Structure 1
């Protein structure tokens, strides 16, 4: 059975971690499969949004133990290559031009935190637990840090990176790591409602918004940034979907992307 399942349902795709026997821990093979899946779906014009899900009780326990045993004998160069593959996977998910929703049905530990943080929106079952456990193993959450710090916020990251304590879905929602913590029975409906918002939006505008968030957030408000943002809105206004969206609003008609959904 494949360690990664990909299901297409009209404009929506679901990528499912399928290693429940090892709590969906990832190894080098799963990292390659995830990278390829999100790169392919990102290029697929028929796909409007992607859900990252998992089978079994855990969402993702981080690195697979067998893989870690192999890594114990790696040279520095081999470790660097391995870490670079993980970094590429996370970046591919984060920069996927389609909105990505993490459907978190169970525990998220260590590297799994990076998977959730790389997604645009995360919805968790209220029984899920979260942990950045690396320092207890003599390691640091380095590769996942850019995404996790952005999702947690710097102050919360200081606590959970350094203490490696387990925290609840309710805490994850309170600090913004996940957007919603809901009863397990409501998980799919909550994800569905989020996807409906994506299907109501222009695909090109969503992709441009994702670039805007990555490239503008945290920058100093100076002449360069002001000019950059002015150019971005001018570009999208002049684009095919930008023109269509405004005309549809003014004329009280439906744009083409609504018909597609």
Structure 2
């Protein structure tokens, strides 16, 4: 995490940059070449950034944004693809993980070490989404480009979503034999059951304007500045404890609890222990290698 501004905190991490300015902490994902994919290191760095927001006395808003044309592509397929269907995952990057569509990064596909590693990745990702929904700061996702898989989870768990017209949101996991296990509870909370179910089953990208109609996007504008300034002004009047109280109370009104987490992670581990699923992921990664893409091309709309 690279730190600028005056807020005290950790530095030296590689996945994001943190900037502090007049009541807000801006967290920018800084791996556009990897399409800002979710790794274990990124999950750790995002957690550290949220810790910093809580320690920074004047911070009222956390802005989550990204460099490049992809907000977040979810899981990086290379770790699972390297293991293949039931083959040892030698040489896989042990930092790669995604609670939505991640996989073991060590051991064999169904071996105890691989299952344990997969479960840990799923638990860590779900816990990050929960943290976004409970922290006593207003979290704003600024999306300018593609949000895919686990990236949709980061969006859905944010308090406000500001997006440009070119933004797209998609859940392609079913194409690999997977499910967006950890994303769905947060997405359903935001857009309702049928819309979230249709995104998971249909796998097609949803345009920003359609996402705004269904409540996934709160503000649609090419320049997010005015909306953010209005929000910052109102947020400056709120006690962070009140923000945390509201988040805790609304969480108790919804299905997000320990049982939901166990259900999501258990299903994720079950799927990722399947040679069939791992084989589909490896095959899809091979097809994508020539194009440099790790998600299906957008269908005409």
Report the TM-score when normalising by structure 2: 0.67
Q: State the distance in 2 between where 1:122 and 1:67 align.
A: 30
Task: Using the TM superposition, give the Cα deviation of residue 206 of structure 1 relative to its aligned residue in structure 2, in angstroms.
Answer: 2.2
* Deviating more after overlay: 72-81 vs 128-137: 72-81
1:18 maps to which of 30, 34, 41: 30
| Aligned pairs for 1:98-177 within 5 A | 98-177=137-216
Q: State the distance in 2 between where 1:83 and 1:68 align.
A: 14
| Aligned pairs for 1:183-198 within 5 A | 184=222, 186-198=223-235
Task: Using the TM superposition, give the Cα deviation of residue 188 of structure 1 relative to its aligned residue in structure 2, in angstroms.
Answer: 2.4
| Aligned pairs for 1:1-261 within 5 A | 2-69=14-81, 70=92, 71=103, 73-74=108-109, 75-182=114-221, 184=222, 186-217=223-254
**Preserved contact between residue 27 and residue 67 of structure 1 (Cα < 8 Å):** no
Task: Using the TM superposition, give the Cα deviation of residue 218 of structure 1 relative to its aligned residue in structure 2, in angstroms.
Answer: 7.3
Q: Gaps (5+ residues) in structure 1?
A: 220-261
Alpha-carbon spacing, 1:31–1:68, altered in 2? closer, same or farther (3 Å): farther
Q: State the distance in 2 between where 1:143 and 1:187 align.
A: 28
RMSD over aligned Cα atoms: 1.9
Task: Using the TM superposition, give the Cα deviation of residue 57 of structure 1 relative to its aligned residue in structure 2, in angstroms.
Answer: 1.0
Q: State the distance in 2 between where 1:110 and 1:192 align.
A: 29
Higher Rg: 1
Q: State the distance in 1 between where 2:16 and 2:79 align.
A: 17
Q: State the distance in 1 between where 2:208 and 2:21 align.
A: 29
**Preserved contact between residue 132 and residue 165 of structure 1 (Cα < 8 Å):** yes
**Preserved contact between residue 20 and residue 55 of structure 1 (Cα < 8 Å):** yes
**Preserved contact between residue 169 and residue 205 of structure 2 (Cα < 8 Å):** yes
Partner of 1:252: none
* Structure number with higher helix proportion: 1
Q: Gaps (5+ residues) in structure 2?
A: 3-13, 82-91, 93-102, 257-301
Report the TM-score when normalising by structure 1: 0.77
